[in-house]
Structure 1
Amino acid sequence: MSGSRRRRAPPTPEYVPGTLLGWNDSKHWDYDGPRPCRYCDIPTQLRDSHGSHAHKTCAEEALAQQAAEAADAYQNGTT
Protein backbone atom coordinates (compact mmCIF):
# COMPACT_ATOMS: atom_id res chain seq x y z
CA MET A 1 0.00 0.00 0.00
CA SER A 2 1.80 3.10 -1.16
CA GLY A 3 -0.43 6.02 -0.37
CA SER A 4 0.69 9.32 0.98
CA ARG A 5 -0.60 10.36 4.35
CA ARG A 6 -2.13 13.75 4.83
CA ARG A 7 -0.50 15.81 7.52
CA ARG A 8 -2.52 17.74 10.00
CA ALA A 9 -2.42 21.49 9.88
CA PRO A 10 -0.46 23.04 12.74
CA PRO A 11 -2.66 24.11 15.66
CA THR A 12 -3.66 27.72 15.79
CA PRO A 13 -2.07 29.51 18.74
CA GLU A 14 -4.27 30.64 21.60
CA TYR A 15 -2.66 34.07 21.63
CA VAL A 16 -0.98 35.95 18.83
CA PRO A 17 1.38 38.65 20.18
CA GLY A 18 0.07 42.14 19.56
CA THR A 19 -3.58 41.14 19.66
CA LEU A 20 -6.07 41.79 22.42
CA LEU A 21 -7.22 39.06 24.77
CA GLY A 22 -10.94 38.32 24.88
CA TRP A 23 -12.12 38.50 28.49
CA ASN A 24 -15.86 38.61 27.80
CA ASP A 25 -16.53 35.45 29.79
CA SER A 26 -17.70 35.91 33.39
CA LYS A 27 -14.93 33.57 34.62
CA HIS A 28 -12.58 36.56 34.27
CA TRP A 29 -14.43 38.52 36.96
CA ASP A 30 -14.02 38.02 40.71
CA TYR A 31 -17.26 38.85 42.48
CA ASP A 32 -15.61 38.65 45.94
CA GLY A 33 -13.77 41.93 45.49
CA PRO A 34 -10.50 43.35 44.19
CA ARG A 35 -7.14 41.77 44.97
CA PRO A 36 -3.61 42.85 43.89
CA CYS A 37 -2.68 42.24 40.25
CA ARG A 38 0.00 39.56 39.91
CA TYR A 39 2.03 41.90 37.69
CA CYS A 40 1.63 45.45 39.06
CA ASP A 41 0.11 44.96 42.58
CA ILE A 42 -2.71 47.46 41.87
CA PRO A 43 -6.06 45.98 42.99
CA THR A 44 -8.30 44.46 40.30
CA GLN A 45 -11.32 42.22 40.11
CA LEU A 46 -10.18 40.71 36.80
CA ARG A 47 -8.72 37.21 36.63
CA ASP A 48 -6.50 35.71 33.95
CA SER A 49 -6.97 32.27 32.39
CA HIS A 50 -5.14 30.68 35.34
CA GLY A 51 -7.50 32.27 37.87
CA SER A 52 -4.91 34.75 39.18
CA HIS A 53 -5.84 38.38 39.61
CA ALA A 54 -4.46 40.40 36.70
CA HIS A 55 -5.35 43.45 34.65
CA LYS A 56 -6.07 42.67 31.02
CA THR A 57 -3.38 45.08 29.82
CA CYS A 58 -0.83 43.66 32.27
CA ALA A 59 -1.54 40.12 31.03
CA GLU A 60 -1.24 41.21 27.38
CA GLU A 61 2.10 42.91 28.06
CA ALA A 62 3.40 39.84 29.91
CA LEU A 63 2.37 37.53 27.06
CA ALA A 64 4.01 39.79 24.48
CA GLN A 65 7.20 39.87 26.55
CA GLN A 66 7.20 36.06 26.91
CA ALA A 67 6.71 35.66 23.16
CA ALA A 68 9.58 38.06 22.44
CA GLU A 69 11.87 36.24 24.87
CA ALA A 70 10.97 32.88 23.33
CA ALA A 71 11.64 34.22 19.82
CA ASP A 72 15.02 35.59 20.94
CA ALA A 73 15.94 32.29 22.56
CA TYR A 74 14.94 30.44 19.39
CA GLN A 75 16.97 32.80 17.19
CA ASN A 76 20.01 32.44 19.45
CA GLY A 77 19.66 28.66 19.68
CA THR A 78 19.27 28.66 23.47
CA THR A 79 15.98 26.79 23.61
Structure 2
Amino acid sequence: MTPARRRRAPPKTEQPYVPGTLLDWTSSKHWDYERALPCRYCGFDTQLRDSHGKAAHKVCAEDALAAQARDAAAAYRVRSH
Protein backbone atom coordinates (compact mmCIF):
# COMPACT_ATOMS: atom_id res chain seq x y z
CA MET A 1 0.00 0.00 0.00
CA THR A 2 1.40 3.38 -0.92
CA PRO A 3 0.97 6.36 1.36
CA ALA A 4 -1.44 9.07 0.27
CA ARG A 5 0.17 12.27 -0.94
CA ARG A 6 -0.74 15.25 1.16
CA ARG A 7 -1.08 18.63 -0.45
CA ARG A 8 0.10 21.67 1.39
CA ALA A 9 -2.73 24.04 2.24
CA PRO A 10 -2.58 27.51 0.71
CA PRO A 11 -1.69 30.37 3.04
CA LYS A 12 -4.62 31.62 5.11
CA THR A 13 -4.06 35.30 4.36
CA GLU A 14 -1.90 37.12 1.88
CA GLN A 15 0.74 39.38 3.35
CA PRO A 16 0.17 43.00 2.35
CA TYR A 17 2.76 44.34 -0.05
CA VAL A 18 4.86 47.11 1.48
CA PRO A 19 6.90 49.03 -1.14
CA GLY A 20 10.63 48.84 -0.57
CA THR A 21 10.70 45.53 1.31
CA LEU A 22 10.62 42.89 -1.43
CA LEU A 23 14.10 43.19 -2.97
CA ASP A 24 17.52 43.70 -1.40
CA TRP A 25 19.61 45.95 -3.62
CA THR A 26 22.30 46.85 -1.09
CA SER A 27 25.02 45.37 -3.29
CA SER A 28 26.99 47.83 -5.42
CA LYS A 29 26.32 45.65 -8.48
CA HIS A 30 22.89 47.30 -8.64
CA TRP A 31 24.40 50.73 -9.27
CA ASP A 32 25.86 51.98 -12.55
CA TYR A 33 28.41 54.67 -11.83
CA GLU A 34 28.84 55.46 -15.54
CA ARG A 35 25.41 56.59 -16.74
CA ALA A 36 21.69 56.78 -16.13
CA LEU A 37 19.33 54.93 -18.45
CA PRO A 38 15.52 54.92 -18.71
CA CYS A 39 13.82 52.56 -16.27
CA ARG A 40 12.32 49.60 -18.10
CA TYR A 41 9.05 50.06 -16.19
CA CYS A 42 8.40 53.82 -15.85
CA GLY A 43 10.79 55.37 -18.38
CA PHE A 44 12.45 57.85 -16.00
CA ASP A 45 16.26 57.83 -15.87
CA THR A 46 17.93 55.76 -13.17
CA GLN A 47 21.40 54.50 -12.34
CA LEU A 48 19.95 51.43 -10.64
CA ARG A 49 20.20 48.06 -12.38
CA ASP A 50 18.27 44.87 -11.75
CA SER A 51 19.87 41.43 -11.39
CA HIS A 52 20.03 41.14 -15.20
CA GLY A 53 21.81 44.49 -15.57
CA LYS A 54 18.79 46.30 -17.01
CA ALA A 55 17.89 49.79 -15.83
CA ALA A 56 15.08 49.69 -13.26
CA HIS A 57 14.05 51.55 -10.14
CA LYS A 58 13.83 49.27 -7.12
CA VAL A 59 10.24 50.29 -6.39
CA CYS A 60 9.23 49.81 -10.03
CA ALA A 61 10.75 46.31 -10.05
CA GLU A 62 9.00 45.44 -6.78
CA ASP A 63 5.67 46.66 -8.12
CA ALA A 64 6.14 44.52 -11.24
CA LEU A 65 6.98 41.44 -9.14
CA ALA A 66 3.98 42.02 -6.88
CA ALA A 67 1.73 42.35 -9.95
CA GLN A 68 3.14 39.10 -11.39
CA ALA A 69 2.48 37.33 -8.09
CA ARG A 70 -1.10 38.66 -7.97
CA ASP A 71 -1.72 37.56 -11.56
CA ALA A 72 -0.26 34.11 -10.93
CA ALA A 73 -2.32 33.66 -7.75
CA ALA A 74 -5.49 34.73 -9.57
CA ALA A 75 -4.77 32.34 -12.44
CA TYR A 76 -4.12 29.52 -9.97
CA ARG A 77 -7.41 30.20 -8.17
CA VAL A 78 -9.30 30.19 -11.48
CA ARG A 79 -7.67 26.96 -12.63
CA SER A 80 -8.16 25.14 -9.32
CA HIS A 81 -11.94 25.71 -9.19
Q: TM-score range by the shorter chain?
A: 0.7 to 0.9
Query: Which residue of structure 2 aligns with residue 46 of structure 1?
Result: 48
Q: Is 1:72 equivalent to 2:74 in the alignment?
A: yes
Q: Is 1:30 equivalent to 2:32 in the alignment?
A: yes
Instruction: Could you tell me which runs of 5 or more consecutive residues in structure 1 were left unpaired when the two chains were aligned.
Output: 1-15
Count of residues in correspondence between the two structures: 63
Q: Note the alpha carbon deviations across 1:24-69, whole angstroms, 9 max, x for none.
A: 0011001111000000010000001111100000001000000000
CA distance in 1, matches of 2:52, 2:73: 23
Letter in 1 for 2:23: L
Instruction: Could you tell me which runs of 5 or more consecutive residues in structure 2 were left unpaired when the two chains were aligned.
Output: 1-14
CA distance in 1, matches of 2:37, 2:31: 11
Q: Percent identity?
A: 62
Q: TM-score, normalised by structure 1?
A: 0.73
Query: Deviation above 2 Å: which 4+ runs of structure 1?
Result: 16-20
CA RMSD of aligned residues (A): 1.9
Q: TM-score, normalised by structure 2?
A: 0.71
Quick check: 30-39 or 19-28, which moved more?
19-28
